[in-house]
Amino acid sequence: MRRVCVYCGSSPGKDPSHREAGENLGALLAARGIGLVYGGGNVGLMGIIADATLRAGGEVIGVIPSALMDKELGHTGVTKLHVTASMHERKQLMADLSDGFIALPGGIGTLEELFETFTWLQLGFHDKPVGLLNVAGFYDHLLVFLRHATAENFMRDAHLESLLVETDADTLLARMARFRAPSLTKCEAHPPPSDER
C-alpha cells in the first residue's frame, strides 16, 4: 500500500485515547512509508493525524470541498491539498488516491464515508481493504449491529468478515497488506430459510 485514506472526526473526541490513536497511526504510516490521504481539515482527529504524520516525515494529502476551505478549516501545511467543488468529488478523489481505508473514531460523517467505501467493496466496485480501528471500544455497538444485520440475512458472513477490525494499528495495517477481496457479490442470493420448526 502506497497510501491509506483515513476517515475520522473533525472533533478530537472526549476520550484521550482517540487523540493518542490518531497520533500513533500517523507516526506508524510515516514509519512504514505509507502516505496519508484524509479530509484536509486542520481540526479534530483530522488535524491530529495529519500533524503526526507530517512530524514523522510522512506524505499527507488532504482533500477538502471549497465550502469548507472557505471557512478556513483547510490544513495549508500538508504535502498537497486538493480543493474540490463538492463532497461527492471529495470522496471520489480520496478513494482514487488511496490503496486502502481506515476509520478512526468520528461522527456521522465518518460513518457515512466508511459505509460508502465498505458498500463499494461489497458490490465489487473496488478490491481495496477497509479497516476499522476500534479505539477503546468506540465501535463495539456498531459491530453488534453489523452482526445482527448478518444474522437477519441482510449481509453475508463473507462481507462482514471483509471489514477488517482491530484495536491495534500495526496489526490492522498488516492485515490490510494481506487482504484479498471476497469474490461474492451483494446481489447473490442468501440461502433460503430452513423449513424446520
pLDDT in tens, 134-191: 999 999 999 999 999 999 999 999 999 999 999 999 999 999 999 998 876 555 544 5
The position carrying cell 445482527 is 148
- pLDDT higher than 50, residue 195: no
Cα 30 to Cα 8: distance, rounded to the nearest angstrom: 18
Q: Positive or negative CA dihedral for 148, 150, 155, 157?
A: positive
Phi, psi for residue 135 in degrees, rounded to 5: -80, 125
Residue type (1 letter), 54: L
pTM of the model: 0.91
Amino acid of residue 137: G
Structure confidence by residue, pLDDT tens digits, 41-86: 999 999 999 999 999 999 999 999 999 987 768 999 999 999 999 9
Q: Is the four-CA dihedral 125, 102, 169, 49 of positive or negative sign?
A: positive
Higher-pLDDT residue of 32, 182: 32
In this predicted structure, the answer to whether residue 193 has a pLDDT above a threshold of 70 is: no
- 94-125 pLDDT tens trace: 999 999 999 999 999 999 999 999 999 999 99
CATH number given to 3-176: 3.40.50.450
Spell out a b/e string for 172-190, using b for 16 or more CB atoms within 10 Å of the CB, else e.
bbeebeebeeeeeeeeeee
**Pairing between strand 101-103 and 35-38?**
unpaired
Q: Tell me the three state secondary structure of residue 66.
A: helix
Query: Is 91 strand, coil or helix?
Result: helix
Cα–Cα distance for residue pair 112/132, rounded to 1 Å: 13
